[in-house]
Amino acid sequence: MILSASRRTDIPAFYSEWFFNRIRKGFLYVRNPMNHHQVSRIGLSPQIVDCIVFWTKNPKPMFGRMEELKDYMYYFQFTLTGYGKDMEANLPDKEKVMVPVFRELASEIGKERVIWRYDPIVFSEKYSPAYHLETFERYAGLLAGYTEKCVISFVDIYAKNKKNMETSGSVEIGREELYAFAKHMADIARRNGIAMASCAEAVDLEACGIEHNHCIDRELIERLTGYRIKAGKDKVQREACGCIESMEIGAYNTCGNGCRYCYANFSPASVRTNCRLYDVNSPFLCSEPAGPLDKVTRRKTVSLKGEPINGPKQMSVFDLLY
């Protein structure tokens, strides 16, 4: 099983104490976002958790406690963009605080386990293509040697972020300008020893030097664990998403980063309401048990590890399927 922690919220930044508590307890509860009283009990034994993928804009609260994850393999998707507080209201200063945090994390766990995300890219009068390229080049220089890959995406408009995007003055650029922009980014990354990839983008940027990415990445997980991973495409994600299947353990309307482009928070009021329910000792994240109304199901979870990569190769039905 691969744990996704989390596409729905920033667990490292705001809920790391809860997460470490759940690791010690060996299980947690996750509510179905489409059916509040449908609850999954997820086991967290190192024998069944093959890898944990953390998604965060600030992993610093986890520093000093990584030893508690010594029995697990994990890597980080670390978002570091050039936006100011008008777009990412509650983040610390990027160059003074977050770049050093990024470098410290990579120095501790290895650059291959810290993926830089410069996404989503929003274009506006303030955040023009030229602005992004200048900022990206500066950050790429600062992160050279501290990451192997940078992932980009262009903002998607959902009902949940449409109003914020309209009031931010976001604009679209033409296809030719987009290709030129993407190629320039790839050139900058390559000069700094960083591979470029795109996240869930329908547009093909391979001619620009940007491959389609797999954020929950079979190849990387196999490389880190030393085992073949028997998992298919995550059918819950968008068609253009290349991630393999994982177990999502976060909750919507709980992220405190305050990003205007966010699709995971419906409103600031919802976030405030849910955050008041945060209990570091609860098996739920920002939610209270509802007694007999909750239908708790123990999810069947197993290790996805196959044979060791350096061992003898034995063909199986999974090799034909995946």
Q: What is the pLDDT of residue 159?
A: 54
Q: What are phi and psi of 252, to 5 degrees?
A: -65, 160
**pTM listed for this prediction:** 0.91
Q: What is the pLDDT of residue 89?
A: 94
Span 39-57, average pLDDT: 97
Residue 163 lies in a domain: no
Helix ranges (H only) for the chain are 11-14, 16-25, 99-109, 129-143, 162-167, 175-191, 218-225, 268-275, 317-321
Residue type, 200: A
Eight-state DSSP code of residue 35: E
Containing 55, the helix (H) or strand (E) segment is strand 51-56
Tell me whether residue 72 is exposed, middle or buried, using C-beta atoms within 10 angstroms of its C-beta: 0 to 12, 13 to 18, 19 or more.
Answer: middle
Q: What is the pLDDT of residue 43?
A: 97
Residue 256 lies in a domain: no
Place of tokens 């008041």: 276
Structure tokens at 309: 């990569």
Q: What is the pLDDT of residue 200?
A: 67
Residue 96 lies in a domain: yes
Residue 315 lies in a domain: yes
pLDDT digits (tens, 9 = 90+) for 21-38: 999 999 999 999 999 999
Residue 269 lies in a domain: no
Residue 261 lies in a domain: no
Is pLDDT of 317 > 50? no
Count: domains in the chain: 1
Q: What is the pLDDT of residue 318?
A: 45
| pLDDT averaged over every residue in the chain | 90
Span 102-116, average pLDDT: 98
pLDDT digits (tens, 9 = 90+) for 149-177: 999 988 665 555 556 656 667 788 888 99
Residue 52 lies in a domain: yes
For residue 145, give its domain range. 2-158+172-251+277-321
Percent of the chain with pLDDT over 70: 90
Span 263-275, average pLDDT: 92
Q: Give dist(CA 80, CA 141) in Å, integer.
A: 13
Is pLDDT of 292 > 90? yes
Structure tokens at 195: 């591979």
pLDDT digits (tens, 9 = 90+) for 215-226: 899 999 999 999
Report the chain's C-alpha Rg in angstroms.
Answer: 20
Q: Give dist(CA 210, CA 114) in Å, integer.
A: 18
For the chain, the first-to-last Cα distance in angstroms comes to: 16
- CA neighbor of 264 nearest in space, from 153, 123, 159: 159
Contacts with 121 (C-beta within 8 Å, 6 or more apart), sequence order: 132, 152, 153, 154, 155
Q: What are phi and psi of 257, to 5 degrees?
A: -70, -25
Q: What is the pLDDT of residue 236?
A: 75
Residue 13 belongs to domain with CATH number: 3.80.30.10
Q: What is the pLDDT of residue 275?
A: 96
Residue 102 lies in a domain: yes
